[in-house]
Structure 1
Amino acid sequence: MSHTPHLFPLRALRAATLVTVAAAALLAGCAALEPVKTGDKLIGGPESAVRETFGTPTDTFKLADGTTRWIYSKQPYGYDIYAADFDANGRLKSFREMLTEAEIYSAKPGVWTKQDVLERWGQPKEPINYYPLMKREAWSYRMYVPPYQPAHFSVYFTDAGVVDRTMIILDARGDRNRR
């Protein structure tokens, strides 16, 4: 029986490559379908693991407490914004959805500035509006409110760049992506 010595290692390498590709595809699928659960599994891991799983963040910030925050925004067509917070050693300490009631109600009118809003939700992807009669600039982020009603979370700033108010406005037209 003739045996070609190079076939087995080549087959094994192909099989290992297929397993690796399948595992990466599965992890990417999980990251897309359940990003918070996927992010929670990476807690304690390095920045590189988060980047491999979720890709390049849309915004990055160095926060006052030494935390580095990566924002992953699905805006303007999606409804989600996620934050990955890393400690001073570059280890993931939290991964969470940012367009929740708890996060939205943490905004402090009269205290927060545009920088605070940027660090919380990232650069708005919807057009920035200015209302001259109110003398207010408005940033808007698309979100869902229960039970999956499309809405806009808006932050209004004074001319000095301080948060004046926030509001959630239901999108009466519904989901623009449904045609």
Structure 2
Amino acid sequence: MKRLLGCLCALLSAIGITACDYLNVRQLQPGVSTAAEVRERFGPPHMEWRNEDGSTTWEYSRQPEGVECFMITVGGDGILREIEQVLNEEIFARVEKGMNGDQVRRLLGKPASSQFFQLKRGTVWEWKIDDGQAGGEPVYFTVSFNNDGRVTGTGRYTRYRGR
């Protein structure tokens, strides 16, 4: 049964359906599950950060098509400490003017896209935060950077589909 579930998750993820993330998160238990179990369920992380306390945080972004980014922290002992879905209002509020791109990436994970605007002389990163499947339109959170690579502001917009 476990093997069938794994095959089903692999098939669904191959076609872009992230329902398996829900199952994977539920099957992992902070304080009990191991780093090996995390990698078995989520694969290799997109990015790894070493933390001051000896733990490591792994990034599992579902951008550009998904609306989640999991930051999974594993202790120096190889035991899962925390799973956090970081594309939420609490984390968005931590993005402050003056931060650099590395600091923003550490908070929100890899953006869905990055675009440089010549006239504005700045770059905008965006993350899809609502895919509009409930009958609405997709919504994106944005972070604007100046030429020095520092945050100048945040925002959000809705990408309206042609009807």
**Do both proteins adopt the same fold according to a TM-score greater than 0.5, normalized to the shorter chain?**
yes
Give yes or no for contact 1:27–1:53 (8 Å, CA) kept in 2: no
Q: TM-score, normalised by structure 2?
A: 0.77
Which of 44, 48, 64 is the equivalent residue of 1:60?
Answer: 48
Map Cα deviations across residues 127-165 of structure 1 (whole Å, 9 max, x no partner).
x21122322111111111897641111111122221111
C-alpha separation in 1, matches of 2:59 and 2:45: 6
In the alignment, structure 1 segments of 5+ residues that lack a partner are 1-18, 175-179
Runs of at least 4 residues off by over 6 Å: 26-31, 145-148
CA radius of gyration, larger in: 1
Which residue identity does 1:90 align to in structure 2? G
Q: TM-score, normalised by structure 1?
A: 0.71
Q: Relative to structure 1, is the Cα distance of residues 27 and 135 closer, same or farther in structure 2, using a 3 angstrom cutoff?
A: closer
RMSD: 2.9
In structure 2, the residue matched to 1:102 is 90
In structure 2, the residue matched to 1:119 is 106
In structure 2, the residue matched to 1:6 is none
Map Cα deviations across residues 96-151 of structure 1 (whole Å, 9 max, x no partner).
211111111111112x211111212223242x211223221111111118976411
Give yes or no for contact 2:130–2:138 (8 Å, CA) kept in 1: yes
C-alpha separation in 1, matches of 2:148 and 2:102: 12
Give yes or no for contact 2:112–2:128 (8 Å, CA) kept in 1: no
Kindly tell me the number of residue pairs found equivalent between the two proteins.
Answer: 153
In the alignment, structure 2 segments of 5+ residues that lack a partner are 13-17
Tell me the SS of whatever aligns to 1:123.
coil
Identity of aligned residues (%): 25
Matched, 1:87 2:75: yes
C-alpha separation in 2, matches of 1:61 and 1:94: 14
Map Cα deviations across residues 39-73 of structure 1 (whole Å, 9 max, x no partner).
6x321222111011112222222245543111111
Tell me the SS of whatever aligns to 1:32.
helix
Shift of 1:33: 5.2
